[in-house]
A and B are shown apart, each in its own frame.
Chain A
Amino acid sequence: GAVVSQHPSWVICKSGTSVKIECRSLDFQATTMFWYRQFPKQSLMLMATSNEGSKATYEQGVEKDKFLINHASLTLSTLTVTSAHPEDSSFYICSARAGTYEQYFGPGTRLTVT
């Protein structure tokens, strides 16, 4: 099956700093990658959709200047949380699609901002 990795799996940072999360498709080329956020016991919330080489499309209410997404290649997308605040603490999950319909999720990154 298709494998998607994320790094780091967990990170603790201080308020005001920036954190970068990497998402890689390991055995396929991802035409589209998605970034989600999930708070405890809540459903997935789509943050943005990105296609390789083009700007990400952000969902309503998601600040594009705070959550910077770069889809640099067909196997790598990054999410940078800038000037992180405690309310940004969450479980961030990326997913990727090849040319098929399925969407495969990475293992997630747990961010804690102190």
Chain B
Amino acid sequence: QKEVEQNSGPLSVPEGAIASLNCTYSDRGSQSFFWYRQYSGKSPELIMSIYSNGDKEDGRFTAQLNKASQYVSLLIRDSQPSDSATYLCAVLRGGNQFYFGTGTSLTVIP
């Protein structure tokens, strides 16, 4: 079983819609959760971090964490073509043990 699992997509949404990206993790001891955005040919960029159950909002982005279900999601409201990228879910377990999912490719259609 992989540490972090994401649907690879591609996920396509029309411009202005809500994009929903999901991630599950295997270890209940995981403590911190992150969403990164990676444009083609570029390195990942941190867009959200979440540490406790519930929702965390930052602009058009909302991260949701449910530790009981071992599930973390990212919602992107009012999706824009510039949001088209691969979104990586990452989980921190222990001091330095980061685990990345394989990423979900998102395309926002104008």
Shortest beta-carbon distance from B21 to chain A in Å: 15
A105 within 8 A of B: yes
Total A-B pairs, Cβ < 8 A = 42
Chain B residue contacts of A104, Cβ below 8 A: 46
Whether B34 and A103, one on each chain, are in contact in the complex, defined by CB atoms closer than 8 angstroms, is: yes
Q: Which chain A residue lies CB-closest to B51? A: A101
A and B contact pairs by CB, cutoff 8 A, 7 listed: A43-B88, A43-B101, A43-B102, A44-B88, A91-B43, A101-B32, A102-B49
B98 touches A105 (CB 8 A): no
A residues within 8 A CB of B41?
91
Number of B residues near A (Cβ < 8 Å) is: 21
Residues of chain A within 8 A (CB-CB) of B57 are: none
Contact of A103 among B31, B46, B101, B102 (CB under 8 A): B46
- Residue B100 lies at the interface, judged by CB distance under 8 Å to chain A: yes
B18 interfacial by beta-carbon distance below 8 Å: no
User: Which of chain B's residues have a CB closer than 8 A to the CB of A78?
Assistant: none
| Least CB distance, B85 to chain A, in whole angstroms | 13
Asked if A34 and B49 make an inter-chain contact with CB atoms under 8 angstroms apart, the answer reads: no
Complex: how many Å from CA A49 to CA B97? 9
Known: A97-B96, A102-B49, A107-B43; 13 extra A-B contacts, CB below 8 A, are: A32-B96, A43-B100, A44-B88, A46-B100, A91-B41, A93-B44, A101-B49, A102-B46, A103-B98, A105-B36, A105-B43, A105-B45, A107-B42
